[in-house]
Structure 1
Amino acid sequence: MRNSVLSALSLAAIAAPAPLLAQDADLPAPEVEEEAATDLAEKFSDPEYQRETAMLMRTLSEVLLDLPLGPLVEAAGEMSGEEMPEVDRDTTLRSMAPEAGRIPEEIERNLPRAMEAMGTMAEALEEMRPALEEMAARLQESLPQE
């Protein structure tokens, strides 16, 4: 769970300034409006949105824990052309790793806190935008011209 939260936070930190960096590197930038970060921050800071998202993710994780793995392993073997280990068709992640059954509850408990942190980070990045733009302009000026 901790790795998933850290991955999501890292992605948010990287994705938010990406349009600025792409613009200064003369790369095509995705169409992102300034208010998108503000909207994201507000949405991620909304307790009701956090609760709904946490419940959705808990439900999805419950479904994934009970998904039969046999057909998936067979399909992976067919796609890769490699021989896969023999797995009973009814084997699930929950049956293979019973301790994984606590993951849905942890998601429900921890996801709102992670979303709040991501909302705060989005606000901070939006506030940092002018400084990042200035830094990128100075960097562009200091690069040797070809």
Structure 2
Amino acid sequence: MIRTLTALAAAPLLVAATPSSAQDIYLDEPPLADESLDRMGDALSDPVRQQELATSLAVVTEILLDLPLAPIIDPLAQAAGQATGEPVRRIDPDTTLRRIAPDAGRVSAEIQDKLPRTMQGIGAMSGAVSRMMPALRDMAAQLRAAIPEQPVADY
């Protein structure tokens, strides 16, 4: 449960923190894609940025854990009840993720502990991919030359 919550909470912030990751990278692109990966790797490897993001995400996680769930869950439960014809009991208005899963309170500490290391690893991987891009482009060119283009059948 903790890992799932951590992953769900971390994914959007990691993507938002690295705008270059939202760009499509094609094998035919000029070396700009390599530079973009290098910049992303540098940004993700920056200890100050890592700590800022970890702290921000931990704060957001604490806020999310204490948000009332009834305004979200109750209408969904009512709609499901109407669709199935089964009676639905009302959701306690004080229900929060923290009350449902008391261990969820550890998520913030886990984020602060693990997000910087995760970012460091992703930054290192993006640097490695950047260094591999010329070889990948060469391999793609060799494959295009070696494999004749086949017509695509309509089904």
Determine if the TM-score, normalized by the shorter chain, exceeds 0.5. yes
Report what 1:68 is aligned to: 68
1:44-99 deviation line (CA, Å, top 9, x unaligned): 11110000000011011111111111001134457xx4237642122000001101
Identical counterparts, % of pairs: 37
Report what 1:139 is aligned to: 143
Alignment of 1:102-121 (within 5 A): 102-121=106-125
Report what 1:125 is aligned to: 129
Gaps of 5+ in 1: 24-28
Q: Compute the TM-score of the two structures, normalised by the length of structure 2.
A: 0.71
Cα 1:108–1:76 shift into 2, 3 Å: same
Secondary structure class of the residue paired with 1:67: coil
2:26 to 5, 10, 20: 20
2:100 to 93, 96, 102: 96
2:46 maps to 1:54 = no
Give 1:52's aligned amino acid.
Answer: E
2:34–2:131 Cα contact (<8 Å) kept: no
Cα 1:2–1:91 shift into 2, 3 Å: closer
Larger radius of gyration: 2
CA distance in structure 1 between the partners assigned to 2:130 and 2:42 by the alignment? 12
Give 2:143's aligned amino acid.
Answer: L
**By how many angstroms is 1:145 displaced?**
1.9
Give 1:96's aligned amino acid.
Answer: I
User: Which deviates more, 113-122 or 34-43?
Assistant: 34-43
Give 2:70's aligned amino acid.
Answer: G
Give 1:144's aligned amino acid.
Answer: P
CA RMSD of aligned residues (A): 3.0
Gaps of 5+ in 2: 82-87, 151-155
